Structure 1
Amino acid sequence: MKKTFRTLAACALAALAAGCAQVQTAPAAPPTGAGKTEVLWLGQAAFRITTPGGKVIVTDPWLRANPLTPPEYKNLAALGKVDVLLVTHGHGDHFADAPDLARMHNVPLWGPGDMNQTVGLLGILPPNLVPRFNKTGTITPAPGIKVTAVRAEHSSVIVWKNPATNKDESHYGGEPVGFIIELENGFRIWHMGDTGLFSDMKFIAEYYKPDLVLMPIGGHFTMAPADAAYATREWIKAKNVIPMHYGANPLGKGTPEEYMRSLGPTGTRVHPMKPGDKLNF
């Protein structure tokens, strides 16, 4: 009986091993969105993000008049296709080239709901290209991509040249926002827009758990390097930070070196970039 049992057990184990071997040799389907995320910085708060699934997201496109934009990208067509267009608020150094990109690619300009209402009422873009959403609202602007609007501590107006008078007018631009951008593979980017310090940065970081934060450090209009370092160290505790919104305006004097000195030893990996640089995550 013992010999028979041992023989049966050995046969069962051999069969199981053979079955496992068959499973292991079967080709595995690659996970959806398993590729890299490419981040191209174009100066100020303008980024082109190419997702693992090949979607192209453009944020705050101030390119043609931006002194830091690489020359080749002053031609908007050089961006290639644009699947998702995001604008955090109405100031010209974030909004300027967005209407032309929306028309060029026939994609909606996603931004603060009240800003988009103003854009539509002024006739800058047709209603179908200025959909509305607001803070904590989540949209799916392209398959596999989710974008949530979050708080930013700043202001927002749209300067519009009235064709009837040829004079500039200032119009309400809604409340500014930041964006939590979730890609096909779950990678999350927090584009903070223009913002000063506010303690709910801690809540946003804890709730949305961003893998990468695009953080303004220039000062005067946004957080200065010491402010950004405090937010990073005490509240956000980010895995990765790309400093932005500095150097394009003489008043935005903060630098990545000042930010990193203020930050000190930390678990955050800071990625200083020059306009035109690309990083993969």
Structure 2
Amino acid sequence: MKITFLGHAACLIEEGGKKVVIDPFLTGNPQAAIKASDLKVDGILITHGHGDHLGDSVNIAKNSDALIVAIHELALYCKAQGAPKVHGMNIGGSYNFDFGRVKMVPALHSSAIVENGNSMYLGEPCGFVIQMKDLTVYHAGDTGLFHDMAFIGEEFEIDLALLPIGDNYVMGPDDALRAVKMLKPKRVVPIHYNTFPVIEQDAKVFKSRIEKETDAKCIVLNPGESVEI
């Protein structure tokens, strides 16, 4: 499995000839490693409806004929915007797709989009546990720390956890460290930091703390860099 960090919270997973992108915010992202038009995928997973996560999902879906997977209300919104294929889910549900098995898990955040000055509710925010062959990746989405992360760690042997560390809108490094202790993943990649001044963090300090205080290996990726597991 190859995981590429595309910037902010956008991550590309490749396994067995299948490609899945999560939260493809590329246009307008100062960290973006590629252009949305360069991305061809089989599946698009969206954790919530904020613009820095919904991002280019619909356009990528149109260009790739890709399936969008999201919470029910957000899936319907994407369909109304012209996405060719959508699959709505809800918290706690799992489904087998041709690219792997996906379970939708909770996240503590909000989820809406503002259009013409009006805020539109787009369902609850979520995280995803993605199983492709014998490997498991957890993308936490935008979230604060919550104790049920321990249940996710008990249910799955997580090979890699993609965790936000930016603070202000999401977990900061202290809470992300506590999350790692509950999830017990083999590897951690920090995401959702340094895109904007308000979420600036030192990922090297976070890496040092993770590897000192837990058994996990922390891999800091610059946008465009990959790790294979």
Give yes or no for the alignment of 1:134 onto 2:94.
no
Greater Cα shift, 240-249 or 100-109: 100-109
Percent identity, aligned pairs only, is 36
1:118–1:172 contact (8 Å) kept in structure 2? no
1:63 maps to 26
Equivalents in 2 of 1:240, 1:131: separation in Å? Answer: 29
What's 2:113 paired with? 158
| Pairing 1:192–2:106 present | no
Cα offset for 1:102? 1.1
Return the TM-score normalized by structure 1: 0.77
User: 1:176, 1:206 → 2: CA distance?
Assistant: 22
RMSD between aligned residues: 1.5
Q: Which residue of the partner structure matches residue 8 of structure 1?
A: none
Residue ranges of structure 1 left out of the alignment (5+ in a row): 1-36, 161-166
Give every structure 1 segment of 4 or more consecutive aligned residues whose post-TM-superposition deviation is greater than 3 Å. Answer: none
Task: Report if the CA contact (8 A) 1:219-1:252 is conserved.
Answer: yes
Distance verdict in 2 for CA 1:135–1:153, change over 3 Å: same
* Corresponding residue for residue 125 of structure 1: 82
Amino acid aligned to 2:86? V
Say whether 1:207 aligns with 2:164: no
Q: Is the 8 A contact 1:218 1:255 kept in 2?
A: no
1:72-221 paired onto structure 2 within 5 Å = 73-74=34-35, 76-79=36-39, 81-120=40-79, 123-125=80-82, 129-143=85-99, 145-160=100-115, 167-184=116-133, 186-221=134-169
Match in the other structure for 2:213: 265
Q: Which has the higher strand share?
A: 2
Residue 69 of structure 1 aligns with an amino acid whose one-letter code is: A
**Counterpart Cα distance in 1 of 2:174 and 2:144:** 11
Larger Rg: 1
Return 5+ residue gaps in structure 2 as ranges. Answer: none
In 1: Cα distance, 2:7 partner to 2:136 partner: 21
Deviates further, 86-95 or 245-254: 245-254
Local SS of the residue matching 1:111 = strand
Q: Distance in 2 between matches of 1:116 and 1:125?
A: 11
1:238 aligns with 2:195: no
Question: For the structure 1 residues 187 and 278, does the alpha-carbon distance in structure 2 shift closer, same or farther, using more than 3 Å as the test?
Answer: same
Offset, 1:261:
4.2
Q: Distance in 2 between matches of 1:258 and 1:118?
A: 39
Residues matched between the structures, number:
228
